[in-house]
Structure 1
Amino acid sequence: MLGDGQALLQGGVAARNTRPDDAWLWSGDHFRRLTSARTPGGRNSAAIGTTGEGDVILFGGTDDSRTIIDETWRWDGTDWSRLSPATHPSRRGSVAMAAEAGGSLVLFGGFFSVPFGDTWRFADGSWTLLTPTASPAARSSHHMTATPDGEVLLYGGLLADRSVAAETWTWDGTRWTEETPTTSPPGRLCAALTMGETDVLLVGGENDGAVFSDTWRWDGSDWEEVVGAGAPAVTCASLTYVDGAFWLFGGSDGSDALQNEVYRFDGTSWARFPRPTVPPARRGHALADLHDGTVLLFGGEDDDGLLADTWLWDGEAWLEQEPATDPPARSLAAIAATGAGTAVLFGGRGDGGRLRDTWTWAEGEWTQASPETSPPPRSDHALGFDGESRVVLSGGFEGASGTTTTWVWDGTTWAEVSTETAPPIMGSPLLAAGPEGTVVRTGGYGPGGTDRDTWVFDGSDWARQVDEGGPGETFLPVGLAATPRGVLRVTVVDPDTAPSVERLVDGSWAAVSSEGDAGLVPGAASAGTGEGLLFFGGEEEDIGLQRTTLLRLRSVDGATCADDVECASGFCVDGLCCESVCRGSCTACDLEGSEGMCAPIPDGESPRGERDACGAGEACFDGVCASASGEDDAGAGERDGSAADLDAGAGSGADAGAGDSGGGGGCGVARGPRPRAPLVLAGLVGALLFLRRRR
């Protein structure tokens, strides 16, 4: 546990018996992956402890080559560094260490060929071998923790004769004392042990193949089992105390399966902590439509630093992904689809500066590519899939300046394209697939403001398709995406007002009326979806947003539909979006040549679909039920009325008719009015505060 209400998780054994070279911070509600220029490398069974100065010290363990080591590493809150003390414990694994009252660390035991029974102190960067008059028997796989009264507690472990210990020892800084509690947990190894505010908690562990699911509390003189606490059966898990609660992570249930669940103990019982359902607030992240109904999110930056997490949006909710390998943490990178369910990621800004690595995403896993050629290190750029086979890279910054070079990824390697014309230098432009294998670009930020023009790349050169005066400050595009309804551009002039939405039609932008909540802000990443555009994150007045906004594009009149909500008009009639409710028995919205308009059905035909039938001897004539002679039966006009009158009534008196499916001649498809805007903004979720950080 760190002194700032966080806990550090380092190393361990992961799937396929690998030892991941990663470190994570737990802050009481989520894990955040740490990045540093140097790392200790993957290892497990090491000793770890926090000094009084707040440094984390890591010693020993077994590395990924199965070699037991004797290295000492320090985490200073920013980076790992390997220490080189003149004297140190011999190499060992399954060793334990804990903080003493004065801020130093005490280490005991471990294993290399045989178990150890020596005691060492780490202070001021050096190790010292101690010689107490009495010590616990040599052992490994035991656990140690500081206690609220300033001592160090040691429990259990595996002894030299392979028996499992059930002893409790305390260290007061000078000597070891074997305690004689009236009650003790059964002997075990690989238990989880840590200190809370007033007591010490012990959870799980194993003995002779049996995995424990009990919870015990040490009060300074005796053990007490917390009956009915409901801990999971787990061994070799990690236990810490953060934010007023005990937290248990990982371990094994005794089978080959490893756990990645988090459990919280509130002092009485354990409960599995739900996984985050929304990515933490961030900026500088990347989104990509994977063209399989999902959107991929990676990385970015929050108040604590760079991020390396991966999330998928499935059309309704976010789900955090757990790939075996993650790209290094970064912000200001770019992602683009390369086909259904696949994507490529390039560059960005990491802890050491701009990056030039290429990663591919497929079947839930990241894989680093090794292309023969690559663009120089670049950040603030954009990637755009041409809808066929290529991904175009444009914009961004290399070194100390911006760049106008264009690169193309073909799935295997990068190739620079020498163009005669290029868009101006811009950071974070917007790219999307255009018609016939082209890529459309607009927006971005540069010395002159935002690029208002629209550019199209045809595979060999750029052309300015829409000239709106070049860079300026009149508007800020925040989204550009290829959707089933065409290429859409979304701009924000004022976050307190609804966004402006335009569709690229015949080489120019045509305004699309919108209605809905405001909420789109600069810094939110966007991606197209089958429904429209998805936005996530960004910042507003120093507030980092955890906001998901789905901008749905509604269908125009004449488009196929299954429900009113799919249509801009709000009316789905006869399987098509219709201009009106189209209530009459002798009208329809799917007539050839009049699709999307409520029109009379041909004379002599009967009402269609679920509409009420005409009376005996009647058929449809001029949009109403009438006899073959052309004269209405008595009451026919009262029953059916004219199509024009009925549709006019839908505008003024629709509320009355909406629930009366049998009135006016009856039409089973009649419904009340619906929102009529072509676009709807939906789903604003939360906001978290963090400080604005400069790139």
Structure 2
Amino acid sequence: MLAASLVSPGAALAQPEPQAGESAPPEDKKGEAASRFYFSHTATLLPSGQVLVAGGVDYASGDSIASAELYDPATRTWQPAGSMGADRHDHTATLLPTGQVLVAGGVDHASGSLASAELYDPATGTWQPAGSMGTARSRHTATLLPSGRVLVAGGVDYASGDFLASAELYDPSTGAWQPAGSMGTARRSHTATLLPSGQVLVAGGYTSEGDLASAELYDPAGRWATAGSMLTGRVHPTVTPLPDRRVLVVGGLSHAGYEARVEQYDPASRTWLPAARMNSARHAHTATLLPNDHVLVAGGNSSDGPLASAERYDPAKETWLPAGAMNRARTYHAAVRLKNEQVLVAGGWGSGGALSDVERYDPGTGQWTPGGAMQAARWQFTVTLLPNGQVLAVGGWGDVGARSDAELYDPSTDRWELVPAAMSNARTGHSATLLRTGHVLIAGGAGSDGVLVRAELFDPETMSFSLAAPMRHARTGHVATELPDGRVLVAGGADTGGPLASAELYDPTANVWHDARLLRTPRSKPAGLLLDDGTVLVVGGVGAGGIPLATAELFELFSNGTLCRQTADCQSGFCVDGVCCNAACDGSCDVCAVTTDIALIPIGARIPGTCEPIDDVACDDGDACTQSDVCQGGVCVAGEPKTCASHACDKVTGQCLTLCKSVRDCMDGKVCDRTHQCVDAPPDAYHHDTSDCALAAPDAPPPSPRALTALFVLALAALGARRPRAVA
């Protein structure tokens, strides 16, 4: 009741709900009372020093209310603050960096828990909608993250009676809500605390089984974001982007066997919806987007063996249409759309083993025609369309094991030509990614040498392979995707220990790999795709124990000001003071983070993620012999020098020397004698001896060459004068 004694009964913070038979507390006579007594509201301290009290339950009527009021501590008065679009109580209110207040969820008097959110702008004194959460909830928590986004977690949906484990993120810059995964335990009336690490500690609360003692951590920079779960777990599905930005996921292998079921992923809502089934169940097939936005699915494996059939998906009508049959049944083949808009299908595995034959599909006529055969039979290999229109086929399984060779297809001549020099390693299950330089990055895979860590670059100009920097982890059956900034994300796969959660980024400009944050679920043989917003979607695959996975995950490069742990987290490529930064910001008097308790820095930047110099902060100029160094104008200025008796201070250790080699090892006014001690300088000596010990004071001018020559002649004369004469 401390808050009630400071303001009024109507704005009591965290007031417990009155029980039957209780009466309202007496009005506080020290200040003006609010318009009425209510509870289960929120109270938010604004930058102006005023307190915004919003919503709640009217004690007299028992109805939830939409009105809001402002308390001014300076005048101890209350004034109206408009009304929200919906009456609500048991909601949350969060002060944003903009000064606005985000109110989310709660319960109204009619429909139960709310999904809606609203923004209060103190500058205008008005309320406006702030979108809707994916799930209606009340008695949840809302935590402002260092990135400026708001994490909403848990709660209860009174309409269904369900306790919630789900979490969502609100981004003030876009006004959008997105899923943020789920807690391990559904809970309401819990606490959520932002830790110095940037993580959020969720503790306690209540669930359908009673009070909770458990706690868990939300880590915004720790792992990939969840993208919901498919309706069916599947291995080796295909993923294809549709014109409306949805993603078509087709076929694969599930617990039920070969799949004909199809799903669509909506990136905007991060939800999955079923789509029309294919005419034939298939796995290890290909899917190619055609010029008319249809998706051509060809071949694959089935319960009856390899398939020759093909079909087209029409996203406008959401139906599947026959697309004829290939001349050869095949699976584990490769397909690519050529610049003439035809689809090239090559190799694979058929009834007779590894295949070398090729077919071309013409979307205009719907016909399949044979093409020139490859130089070598191969399956589970990669094909890459090069900028010059040719197609590079690399590695794969052959008749007698993994292959190290590669060949080029020229559509103008319908001929294949072996690349003169093979790769350094035979491999299959690798990835091939076209870089902006025109080179093709070949990474990982497996062969006679086991699972590979090696990567190679193919240069179309020289028709040759060269070694690239090796990956940080050996892997096969992974996904590789070029990001908008030209770096390549490699994720998942497997090694001899099973499916991997690790991911890494390749930087072509520096020829170096960086560890990236881990997948939430280790997975091998997933499918991956770059979405229009620059995030990477990874779906399905094989999990631990050989289980087909239904889960999907998203990798995004964080914008400046967002929490990070490593370089690979950031769009800029710079992770400084625990946040993504616009520059390397590696000076001792540079800072990039705003929140000092997270970055553990004395002064924060004014703009999150923007490197700027700081002043009047202790620093280290690199000289251990200066004390109390301080930042001035972004430069570390040396402080007072350490004082030593005779010998100088060692700039590395900061300790006074005990021996000298030259005058530079002595304090001012001292010289180094032949015993390597710093002593007072002789007043009439101006030369250095052969041991580099100076016999001249440091401030004395050096002798001229003429004076040194004269001294040398005089010394010789003196020696000659003292030489004994020979006896006759």
TM-score normalised by structure 1 residue count: 0.36
Greater RCO structure (CA 8 Å; 6+ sep): 1
The structure that has the greater radius of gyration is 2
TM-score normalised by structure 2 residue count: 0.35
